[in-house]
Structure 1
Amino acid sequence: MSTETLLSIRDLSVNFKVYGGVVHAVRHLNLEVKRGETLAIVGESGCGKSVTCQAIMGLVQKPSGQIASGEIIFDGQDLLSLSKKKQREIQGNRIAMIFQDPMTALNPILTIGEQLTEGVRKHKGLSKEAAYAKAVEMLSLVGIAEAKSRLNQYPHQFSGGMRQRIVIAMALMCDPDLLIADEPTTALDVTIQAQVLELFARIQEKTGVAIILITHDLGVVAKIADHIAVMYAGQCVEYGNRQDIFYRASHPYTQGLLASVPRLDMSEDSLKPIEGYPPDLFAPPQGCGFFSRCQKKLLVCERYLPDLHTMDNEHKVLCWLQDSRAQCSL
């Protein structure tokens, strides 16, 4: 696997102006994705996972949505500083996204062939014949049999698992360098989930594409992620490789997520849900966002935001418990 950084998110903040005020959805986020690797972004609903990827894809809609600060560096270029035309040459072409619900991502009145070939004809300038040949190749890659004859069918003629494969094939049509998958297995049963995850691994091995996987399912993370970013209240509270997160988790929120996942070797009474609710992002807390729910909180946690503490080469934690200056416990 290459160690070269493909995507670097630096100090990214995204706000949304709504009737009740301003929602601070993403707050000073820093992440990076290396070529050919899979980065999983995990966390509860509303933690900023999808908004982060929408910012990468240029899908934060003005005037309500606003990127308040930061840079999104893709292959040496800051996407936020490019013109709309230059952005479109990258987003949807070199960066592709798989949306959460394949049925709503597909147009019900257009054939699969029409939808698969639209993007590659626009971005790559392929003829209709060449685009359809590419579509057959991609459908075969994602495991759809009799691909050529199925191009003339409509989304309702496919099962949920096959629609998910079609959406993946659509994202791969332009041979992207980065593939963003937003909860790609949520609506699928366990057997199909496993097939989709194996498909991602096979695609990555064959094409070398880097993947950002948004999920709340730690089982998915354990299977395919190289690195994991744990998000809470719009911030990345812990980052590391699989071993760091699953065996050396240091942030109380990450520890809480792991403790709340059922396992075959534990009883139902052993599950420990995280009590309480995430903070109101209309008025983000002055200190640590997890303070009100944390069982290990210190006096300093409520008043001041912790520094990012490096546990080792890659493992980083946003928590006062790792700071020697924090001595006074509540």
Structure 2
Amino acid sequence: MTLIKEQRKQYGNAKADLPVLSVKDLQVTFKTYGGTVQAVRGVSFDVFRGETLAIVGESGCGKSVTSSAIMGLIPSPPGEITGGQVVFKGKDLTSLSKKEMREIRGVDISMIFQDPMTALNPTLKIGDQLTEGIRQHQKISGAEAKKKAVEMMKLVGIPNPEERLKQYPHQFSGGMRQRIVIAIALMCEPELLIADEPTTALDVTIQAQILELFQEIQEKTGVSIILITHDLGVVAKIAHRIAVMYAGKIAETGTKREIFYQPQHPYTKGLLNSVPRLDLKGKALEPIEGTPPDLFSPPVGCPFAARCPHAMVVCDKLMPETEQLTFTHKASCWLLDERANPA
């Protein structure tokens, strides 16, 4: 405990003690003709002031569903938040009415969706789309809203903002559209920004520019960021902490250094081994064999057991507890529990 207190002190009391958002045992299900899908199964994490938390994992692990649940955007039916809390500024967002969530969404918490090509309305000028949200939430004039829009366009690096406000989305490149989407999300100066695969549809050069933009915006505004991605290269660039998600659960959480250099969960190690590296030229990649479990009837034990090269009998029978390794590093794996470790 003394070691954890010391690491907490080193990590910084400002970040350690003041979470902007606390997700506690979140559970989300979807009812379908084939049965009930348990998409998110007891996810917990905190986001601290001025930091970037990356949630990584393969497709279908529940990353985007988690972000939608935070924003109150789970379609009901068929989706439903069946348990847990999403605490923001002392309020449990899961208990708020639709009207109360509308007052928070876009003002205190904003979201950047993954495809800039479809996130913008092709029939409206960029200026109208930028000012729509702020005029709805704040009592300001059209001139003031336009001035704010120009400031945001400058912040995200769009040249000649006064002229470009009059243009339509098709007159912008993919990278510029993504900058517009980011500017829209920042118009009301939110405390938390959720970016769902923000660089997926962009080429690598533009990806690098957008990631640098996130860093610049965070330095200037102090906004907290949740980054949803499957790209570990993106994570390495801008994340402070990383949550590795698998089959609707958090497998491991830690700082960037802990996850990349001291991974403890076999799934995290598998993800890292499957990424091409310049310093291992000529070495074959190691894919993770098998497929994720069926979330219509998820396993009672560790969800990664069927694909894990180190699986033990207990892994199939019981869910592992979360082991607190350091103040910032924890993982859910029986290999870390001395009661089950054969060594």
TM-score of the two chains, using structure 2 as the length reference: 0.94
Measured after TM superposition, the shift of residue 268 of structure 1 is 4.7
Distance 2:177 2:46 in 1: 30
Are 1:15 and 1:23, in contact at CA under 8 Å, matched by a contact in 2? yes
**Equivalent position SS for 1:265:** helix
Q: Given the alignment of the two structures, is residue 177 of structure 1 paired with residue 191 of structure 2, yes or no? A: yes
1:158 equivalent in alignment to 2:172: yes
Displacement of 1:270: 2.5
Residue matched to 1:248: 262
**1:201 corresponding residue in structure 2:** 215
Q: Kindly state the Cα deviation for residue 269 of structure 1 after the two structures are TM-superposed.
A: 3.9
Please tell me whether residue 93 in structure 1 is matched to residue 107 in structure 2: yes
Query: Does the CA-based 8 Å contact 1:238-1:317 persist in structure 2?
Result: yes
The Cα of 1:92 is off from its aligned counterpart by 1.5
Spell out structure 1 runs of 4+ moving beyond 6 A.
none
Q: 1:235 aligns with which of 236, 249, 268?
A: 249
Offset of residue 209 of structure 1: 0.3
1:120 to 2:134 alignment: yes
The corresponding residue for 2:8 is none
Q: How does 1:176-325 map to 2 (within 5 A)?
A: 176-325=190-339
The one-letter code matched in structure 2 to 1:322 is: L
Structural mapping, 1:74-153, within 5 Å: 74-153=88-167
8 Å Cα contact 2:334-2:341 kept in structure 1: no
- The separation in 1 between residues aligned to 2:51 and 2:73, in whole angstroms, is 24
| Structure 1 residue 194 displacement after superposition | 0.7
Q: Does 1:26 align with 2:40?
A: yes
Q: How many residues align?
A: 329
Give the secondary structure class of the aligned counterpart of 1:254.
Answer: helix
Instruction: Give how far 1:27 is off.
Output: 0.3
CA distance in 1, matches of 2:320, 2:331: 9
Q: Distance in 1 between matches of 2:126 and 2:341?
A: 61
- Contact 1:47/1:233 (<8 A) preserved: yes
Q: Deviation per CA, 1:137-180, whole angstroms, max 9, x where unpaired?
A: 10111000000100111111100000000000000000000000
Unaligned runs of 5+ in 1: none
CA RMSD of superposed structures (Å): 1.1
Q: Does the 8 Å CA contact 2:108/2:188 hold for their aligned counterparts?
A: yes
